[in-house]
């Protein structure tokens, strides 16, 4: 891996994330979310803030600097030049309704993400904080991004194999469907973890 992507991965996914993303993601104060909680500001992190969470650098996939993927019909194609974050499985109601099950997503900085073909890509604003990208021809659920962010999440199933990825955590497990169980050996969080 090049030094450029190694440093970018460290800055965006490593333990210095709070230096790049200062302030509370909820109330936009200059305090971190932890400081807001200490001051007993009664709010929790929004569902999308899991993208901003610190990721252990040792778990990033560094098997290749180039990753590619596409929707079922090929109308949306993309490439990523950089490491992929470990997969997060989200069981929230919105993710379940857009996918028909839970979603499994990796994430990358938008700076290393390129759309190669996007004629059929459409964005749906699913909340005040986020939007989801899908193919309007085959219906493929492809992307998720915070409106005020610089990271994009990619559904892991749309990546070309081999990905070298594995599910690292399950979030919003309190909202999961009642028809399946979650692997107890993987970290589980009632909220966004």
| Structure letter (DSSP) for residue 163 | -
Domain coverage including residue 94: 57-188
Residue 68 lies in a domain: yes
The β-bridge partners of 97 are none
The terminus-to-terminus CA distance of the chain in angstroms comes to 29
Residue 153 included in any domain: yes
Sheet holding 167-171, edge to edge: 121-125, 130-135, 141-146, 151-155, 103-109, 87-90, 167-171, 187-188
Domain at 82, CATH number = 2.170.150.70
Tell me whether residue 157 is in a domain: yes
Asked, for residue 177, whether it belongs to a domain, the answer is yes
- Residue 164, phi-psi category: left (phi > 0), alpha (psi -120 to 50), beta (remainder): left
- The domain total for the chain is 1
**E strands present in the chain:** 66-70, 76-81, 87-90, 103-109, 113-118, 121-125, 130-135, 141-146, 151-155, 167-171, 187-188
Give residue 53's pLDDT: 44
Q: Is residue 105 part of a domain?
A: yes
Residue 27, in any domain of the structure: no
pLDDT score for 64: 55
Note whether 138 and 70 are within 8 A (CB). no
**Residue 78 placed within a domain:** yes
What is the chain's pLDDT, residue by residue, as a tens digit (193 residues)?
333 333 333 333 333 233 233 344 444 455 554 454 444 444 444 343 444 444 444 455 445 589 999 999 999 999 999 999 999 999 999 999 999 999 999 999 999 999 999 999 999 999 999 999 999 999 999 999 999 999 999 999 999 999 999 999 999 999 999 999 999 999 999 998 7
In a domain, 106, yes or no: yes
Query: For position 18, what pLDDT does the model report?
Result: 30
């Amino acid at each position: 891996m090049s030094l450029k992507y190694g440093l970018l991965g460290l800055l965006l996914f490593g333990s210095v994330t709070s230096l790049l993303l200062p302030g509370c993601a909820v109330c936009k104060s200059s305090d971190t979310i932890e400081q807001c909680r200490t001051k007993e500001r009664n709010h929790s992190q929004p569902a999308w803030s899991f993208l901003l969470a610190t990721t252990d650098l040792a778990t990033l996939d560094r098997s290749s600097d180039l990753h590619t993927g596409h929707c079922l019909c090929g109308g949306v194609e993309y490439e990523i030049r950089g490491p992929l974050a470990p997969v997060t499985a989200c069981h929230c109601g919105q993710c379940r309704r857009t996918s028909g099950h839970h979603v499994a997503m990796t994430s990358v900085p938008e700076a290393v993400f390129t759309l190669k073909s996007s004629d059929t890509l459409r964005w749906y604003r699913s909340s005040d904080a986020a939007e989801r990208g899908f193919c309007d021809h085959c219906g493929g659920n492809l992307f998720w991004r915070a409106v005020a962010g610089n990271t994009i999440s990619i559904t892991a199933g749309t990546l070309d194999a081999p990905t070298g990825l594995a599910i690292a955590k399950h979030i919003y497990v309190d909202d999961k469907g009642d028809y399946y169980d979650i692997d107890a050996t993987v970290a589980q969080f009632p909220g966004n973890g």
